[in-house]
Amino acid sequence: MIPFDRFTLPNGLRFIVHHDPNTPILAMNILYDVGARDEDPEQTGFAHLFEHLMFGGSVNIPRYDEPLQLAGGENNAFTNSDITNYYLTLPVQNAETAFWLESDRMLSLAFSEKSLEVQRNVVVEEFRQSYLNQPYGDVWLLLKPLAYITHPYQWNTIGKETAHITNASLEDVRRFYARFYNPNNAIVTVAGNVSTAYIKEMAEKWFGPIPAGPVNERKLAKEPEQTTDRLNEVERDVPFSAVYKAWHMCAQQHPDYYVIDLLSDLLGSGNSSRLYVELVRKQKIFSEIGAFITGDIDPGLFVVHGKVMPGVDPYTADQGIQQVIEHLISQKISEAELRKVKNKAIASLAFENISLLNRAMNLTFHEHHGDAGQINKLPAMYAKINVDSLAKASRELFRKGNCNTLIYKSVNKENRE
Amino acid sequence: MDKLNREQQPKLNLVGLGTMASPRSCRFENGIKVHLFEGKAHEAIRLDLVFKAGTAYQQVKLAASSTNRMLKEGTKQFTGRQIASKLDYYGAYTDLTATKDFAWISLFGLRKHFPKLLPIYESMVKAPAFKPADFKVLNRQQKHEFVVNSQKPKHLASRVFNQELFGAGSPYGQTADEIDYDRLKPADLADFYAGFYGAGNCEIIISGAIDRATEDMVQERFSGLWGTDTQAAAIAQPHASVTGLNWISKPGALQSAIQMGKYLFNRKHPDFAGFLVLNTVLGGYFGSRLMANIREDKGYTYGIHSQLVPLEQGGFFVIGTETGRDVTQAALEEIRNELLRLIHEPIPEDELVLVKNYLTGSYLRGLDGVYNQADKFKAILGLGEGMEYYNKVIRTVQDISAEVLQELAVRYLQPDSMLTVVAGERV
């Protein structure tokens, strides 16, 4: 059980407080309800670029990092398709510094041309380091636009191309901030050896005076149901060919979400998973293989990815994956296998929530999805999944026409065993 | 809009250091030292067995890491598939790691499942089979991983840096090539296992939801005589001092990877704690000088970091980054400038206070929960000093002066005393 309290300030800012008496550290996590899906298709990568700018100083505090470090703290942030999430930890004695810093950058940023210029460069280097200068680094740049035709998930958080980042202007930045960085568009979780009364006092003092902003009405293009399988083939200078397959799955709020999560474990998580046992150990057509779900709020993707053994045609390897899936659909799943994936999911929850910061983050995410209390209901949710719900969800997921396949062909001429 | 003084940082409070909790330590009859970190609030247990069986001890390249990773691929009692199924069934996982000095076998699982997990774990530790067919699958996977990694500029630069720094044939300097995977045989692993895995060369750390029954179970399974009864003798690593610039050509690379550093010392050295502060100022945290200059001011890179890596015999200092290929030269210049600035100018008082506070905070983060504490303990296992060591370090950190730090910079951070390796396209 992860205990927590909840309150909302008059300006709409939501707070969650998780009391843990056994740690000298305080964790603060702030989620802004804005991600890459909220971007203009001509200005992709903006939410993430903006995350970088949040560290460039706010209206009353010229530098964010220094006072935090002076208080013994550390921080970071990440952006994905749905959210932008900022987090910090510091000794609990200096909790107020966290409120001071975070409230000031929610109040107003100190935008400067120099800061924008530098962060544009930093993000372009990040683009190169993570996507362009790595073997297989561009897979997601290829897979997402293959799978999505209209929904903004078709582009990656880093953006469609570096030009979108280099073209960002200070005016764009200001507009983005005014639209999304408002108390009524954020959730704050504070975790540590603190009382809710104290956090409420701090919240009212520092965040209370920030005016609410316009309500962000999200009108995203809905992805039409995919009815024909899609295929893309590319050639790259990589040592081994690879196969990536993505199927459209349900949104996070859908009752089947956790069923499909279990399905991804059953197929492709760990060395006892079906794909691994059949295609790596037995048939030896892949050297590695796995499956996961993208975990998005809107309908996301169920992904299978594998590196093909040299000498094996990637299309043959792809057929291997399809056979494993056909077998899954046509044969009854055993109770023992169901028990296994459930045990695994429930144990993972326990491992994940050992860290204070993870607890703070997970509480925030669940609140964002609708209810922080969900965090304590997950074990029971997994427990009630049965083989019939798995079978039904897998037939729906792997229906004909719902699949996107990326064949990533190695043009490496060296012959390897 | 409000009467708050938002320009003024709230008053900072004195942060008490608390104490690094020491583990409860004991010895089994066979001599194995056991350290227990108890955390009642948890449901999970982590069991770590550590052997002096890192890559520095191997006579055949790849033997140490492959022996370690083969432990879960099949034993005299269980096939690899059975091991994987059983671990997955109980929602547990194992972590197998070989560093330069140590080999770790870690098991992470819920306490309620430990009685079922321990027999499998015991079998992995005591009775690996090293079957040729299983070996072939794993070896091929590792080779593929290696081949993919070899395309990454960062990997190339680190490899050559390591080789040059310690000497290609030396215990720490050895690096594998693709052909070493083809040469490796199951018998090499069995030999390595026989020499280095056993009660005589092992320590145990248990952390988390430990209860009496769990303790007894571990004792029952690991307190007898098993494996080698000999502790591995310290390796002889020659001290090296290689300098200069080494470019590895990687045509078409958009970024170059830089590794720059030198052979230094480990935690036993009297200057270790002081150097920790110096390194933090230079490149050890987000607000470091290298980050401030090369990322936040110039935008040459997504990140740049430096660290002192302590080993059982000595240690090394390294600065690492990946920069745009057009600005690689400029980045190298700026790294040099930052080293010289530490040599020529004392660190200003406010910066020093900030870094000391930051390090104190990091120290507290290490106290957050038993698993963090156990990790801190694992990092100093070879030292034999216990957790009091950290209290000593943090006191030194808090007391050190800018003057002493400048002396350390003069002694250890001369740019010309460093080896630089760059992998990328030279423009």
Give B89's pLDDT tier (boundaries 50, 70, 90). very high
Q: Where is the domain boundary, A149, A171, A206?
A: A206
> A234 and A192 in one domain?
no
| pLDDT (mean) for B142-165 | 94
Does residue A58 lie within any of the structural domains?
yes
Distance of alpha carbon B196 from alpha carbon B191, whole angstroms: 9
* In B168-211, alpha helices (H): 178-183, 186-196
Shared domain check, A62 and A98 = yes
Cβ–Cβ below 8 Å for A272 and B151: no
The residue type found at A58 is S
Same domain, A173 and A81: yes
Query: Which one of the listed residues A51, A102, A278, A367 is annotated catalytic?
Result: A51
In a domain, A379, yes or no: yes
Give the CATH number of the domain where residue A198 resides.
Answer: 3.30.830.10
Q: What number is the average pLDDT over the span B92-97?
A: 96
Q: How far apart are CA A154 and CA A180, in angstroms?
A: 21
Q: Which residue of B has its CA nearest to A52?
A: B296
Whether A415 is in a domain gets the answer: no
Mutant choice from B368, B370, B371, B425 vs A, greatest count of A C-beta within 10 A: B368
Please provide residue B381's backbone torsions phi and psi, each rounded to the nearest 5 degrees.
-55, -45
* Sheet-wide strand order for A186-192: A5-8, A14-19, A186-192, A25-32, A84-91, A74-79
Sheet strand arrangement including B24-27: B24-27, B33-38, B202-208, B44-51, B103-110, B93-98
- Domain check: are A57 and A126 in the same one? yes
Considering the domain architecture, whether residues A243 and A197 belong to the same structural domain is answered as: no
In which domain, by residue range, is A110 found?
5-206
Of B91, B143, B151, the CB nearest to A135: B151
* Contact assessment for residue A281 and residue B138, using Cβ atoms and an 8 Å cutoff: no
- Side-chain-side CA neighbours of B121 within 13 Å: the count stands at 28
Cα B71 to the center of its chain, rounded Å = 21
For domain B24-222, the CATH superfamily is Metalloenzyme, LuxS/M16 peptidase-like (3.30.830.10)
My answer on whether A192 and A47 are in the same domain is yes
- Residue A181 and residue A307 in one domain: no
A113 and A176 housed in the same domain: yes
Q: Could you say which of B16, B151, B255 has the minimum Cβ distance to residue A238?
A: B151
Distance from CA of B271 to the nearest CA of A (A): 23
The string of DSSP codes covering B368-405 is SSHHHHHHHHHHTGGGT--THHHHHHHHHHHH--HHHH
Q: Find the residue in B nearest to A93 (Cα).
A: B13
Interface contact A69-B365, CB threshold 8 A:
no
DSSP 3-state assignment of A347?
A: helix
- A161 and A304, same domain (yes or no): no
Q: Do B368 and A23 touch (CB under 8 A)?
A: yes
Residue A222: inside a domain, yes or no? no
- Which residues fall within 8 angstroms of residue A405, CB to CB, at 6 or more apart? A229, A230, A231, A232, A243, A244, A245, A318
pLDDT at B383: 87
Residues A198 and A263 in one domain: no
Q: Minimal Cα–Cα distance from B374 to chain A, Å?
A: 14
Chain B residues within an 8 Å CB radius of A211: 1
A225 within a domain of the structure (yes/no): no
Mutate to test the interface with B, among A55, A74, A92, A125 (most CBs of B within 10 A): A125
Checking if the pLDDT of B1 tops 50, the result is no
User: How many domains does chain A divide into?
Assistant: 2
Sheet containing strand B315-324, edge to edge, reads: B244-249, B419-424, B255-264, B315-324, B301-310
Give the 3-state secondary structure percentages of chain B, helix then strand then coil, rounded to 5.
45, 20, 35
- Given phi > 0 = left and psi -120 to 50 = alpha, else beta, which region is A161? beta
User: Is A348–B91 a contact, with Cβ atoms under 8 angstroms apart?
Assistant: yes
- Cβ distance A100 to B362 less than 8 Å, yes or no, reads no
Mean pLDDT score of chain B, rounded to an integer? 94
B9 contacts A97? CB cut-off 8 A: yes
**What residue type is assigned to position B190 of the chain?**
A
pLDDT tens digits for chain A (417 residues)?
899 999 999 999 999 999 999 899 999 999 999 999 999 999 999 999 999 999 988 999 999 999 999 999 999 999 999 999 999 999 999 999 999 999 999 999 988 898 899 899 989 989 988 888 889 999 999 999 999 999 999 999 999 999 999 999 999 989 999 999 999 999 999 999 999 999 999 999 999 999 999 988 899 999 999 999 999 999 999 999 999 999 999 999 999 999 999 999 999 998 999 999 999 999 999 999 999 999 999 999 999 999 999 999 999 999 999 999 999 999 999 999 999 999 999 999 988 888 999 999 999 999 999 999 999 999 999 999 999 999 999 999 999 999 999 999 999 766 555
Q: What are phi and psi of A327, to 5 degrees?
A: -65, -40
B244-424 homologous superfamily: Metalloenzyme, LuxS/M16 peptidase-like (3.30.830.10)
Virtual CA dihedral for A81, A83, A84, A88, nearest 10 degrees?
A: -130
Residues B267-290, mean pLDDT to the nearest whole number: 96
Q: Name the domain boundary from A174, A206, A238.
A: A206
Q: Which of B11, B301, B365 sits opposite A25 (nearest CB)?
A: B365
Q: How far apart are CA B304 and CA A35, in angstroms?
A: 27
Whole-number Å distance between alpha carbons of A347 and B143: 32
**Residue ranges of chain B assigned to CATH 3.30.830.10:** 24-222, 244-424
Active site residue A278: no
Cα dihedral sign, A54-A59-A65-A68: negative
Residue of A nearest to B370 (CA): A354
Look at residue A215 and tell me if it is in a domain.
Answer: no
Count CA atoms closer than 13 A to B405's CA, side-chain side: 30
What pTM was computed for the model? 0.92
Per-residue pLDDT tens digits for B158-208: 999 999 999 988 999 999 999 999 999 999 999 999 999 999 999 999 999
A254 and A385 part of one domain = yes
A224: in domain: no
How far is the alpha carbon of A219 from chain B, nearest alpha carbon, in Å?
33
Question: CB distance A67–B302 less than 8 Å?
Answer: no
